[in-house]
């Protein structure tokens, strides 16, 4: 295991914008080792006053839409404006597939070499809660390191969109044109979360198909209720490959940030997200403690077997394990007092 630095060294390195120290600090917050969790907590508490000043943007899209190409083009546009950009990823599917998105760093070759950009793939083999917790913490570290824009990419499908929506200020959905009925690609759940729909691959020769898709999405959005922010959802065309459409998208995001800051929605939304994080942290901590309990470890295999054989219903087996856990915790507390 790589030698750990002191809390002060991590904090000083992060606040100075040192990317190596930032990476090492994120490795600490991703670690499940008890000592590292304590160290992570101390680092995060120390850098907390220096967080919250970035624009947090979530980016998702259908498979094959070109998220990595878009993020590289958009990130490069932002750094050309003098912005510092951090790219993080949420990949809840990795626990099932064992897949890794480390390839994103090589696909975003230009952006990864940009001194004003930082790319951090998500860890694999983590639970949904673990990914969400560590990504939120990584956002805080990147903000403390001076990054103005945090791009959070969803790599998995399903719950990943909800996770990213719950930790960002602005949610951008990338869509394709010319892939059959455009309206079939609209899922009510995700469309109610987005702030901008960007129809990608408006490359030379494909402009007409993209313009048609933009019109159809705009018409479809009239069927949806008003957004919580009160800012209407916009639909735009772009070409990540050719680097076009980046300026209008950035203007929409900037305008949104100004409007929601002035209305108070931005601050209210972040407060709600912090409360949600608290609830998630409680659930995750209790779950970790439950599975680490020696009595639970001793009986969980037999509980699994009883459920698989149909001898017990899952809720009955779960209740038995929880009662064992609670009695064990109570006994430990009593023993400690003695």
Alpha-carbon gap, residue 58 to 72, rounded angstroms:
14
Predicted pLDDT of residue 197: 93
DSSP-derived 3-state class of residue 238: coil
Predicted pLDDT of residue 103: 47
Query: Quick one: DSSP state of residue 292?
Result: H
User: 110-149 burial, b if ≥16 CB within 10 A, otherwise e?
Assistant: ebbebebbbbbbbbbebebbbbbbbbbbbbbbbbbbbbbb
Query: Quick one: DSSP state of residue 182?
Result: G
Q: pLDDT tens per residue, the chain (338 residues)?
A: 578 899 999 999 999 999 999 999 999 998 888 889 899 999 999 999 999 999 999 999 877 888 999 999 999 999 999 999 999 987 665 444 444 444 455 568 889 999 999 999 865 445 555 666 789 999 999 999 999 999 999 875 566 788 889 999 999 999 888 654 444 445 667 778 899 999 998 887 888 889 988 998 888 888 888 899 999 999 999 999 999 999 999 999 999 999 999 999 999 999 999 999 999 889 988 998 999 999 999 999 999 999 999 999 999 999 999 999 999 988 877 766 65
pTM of the model: 0.88
């Amino acid at each position: 295991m790589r030698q750990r630095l002191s809390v002060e060294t991590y904090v000083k390195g992060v606040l100075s914008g040192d990317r190596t120290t930032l990476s090492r600090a994120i490795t600490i917050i991703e670690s499940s080792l008890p000592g590292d969790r304590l160290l992570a907590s101390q680092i995060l508490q120390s850098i907390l006053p220096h967080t919250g000043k970035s624009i947090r943007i979530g980016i998702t899209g259908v498979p094959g839409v070109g998220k990595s190409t878009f993020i590289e083009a958009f990130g490069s546009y932002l750094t050309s404006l003098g912005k510092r950009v951090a790219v993080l990823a949420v990949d809840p599917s990795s626990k099932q597939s064992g897949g890794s998105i480390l390839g994103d760093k090589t696909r975003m070759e230009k952006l990864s070499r940009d001194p004003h950009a930082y790319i951090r793939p998500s860890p694999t083999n983590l639970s949904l809660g673990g990914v969400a917790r560590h990504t939120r913490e990584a956002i805080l570290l990147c903000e403390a390191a001076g990054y103005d824009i945090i791009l959070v990419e969803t790599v998995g499908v399903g719950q990943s969109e909800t996770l990213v929506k719950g930790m960002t200020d602005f949610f951008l959905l990338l869509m394709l044109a010319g892939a059959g009925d455009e309206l079939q690609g609209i899922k009510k759940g995700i469309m109610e979360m987005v702030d901008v729909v960007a129809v990608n691959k408006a490359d030379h020769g494909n402009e007409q198909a993209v313009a048609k898709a933009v019109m159809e999405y705009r018409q479809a959005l009239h069927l949806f209720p008003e957004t919580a922010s009160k800012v209407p959802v916009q639909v735009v065309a772009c070409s990540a490959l050719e680097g076009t459409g980046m300026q209008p998208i950035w203007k929409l995001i900037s305008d949104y940030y100004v409007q929601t800051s002035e209305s108070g929605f931005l601050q209210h939304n972040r407060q709600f997200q912090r409360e949600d994080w608290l609830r998630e942290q409680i659930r995750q901590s209790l779950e970790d403690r439950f599975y680490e309990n020696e009595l639970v470890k001793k009986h969980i295999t037999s509980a699994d077997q009883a459920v698989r054989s149909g001898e017990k219903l899952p809720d009955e087996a779960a209740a038995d394990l929880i009662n064992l856990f609670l009695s064990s915790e109570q006994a430990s507390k009593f023993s400690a007092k003695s």
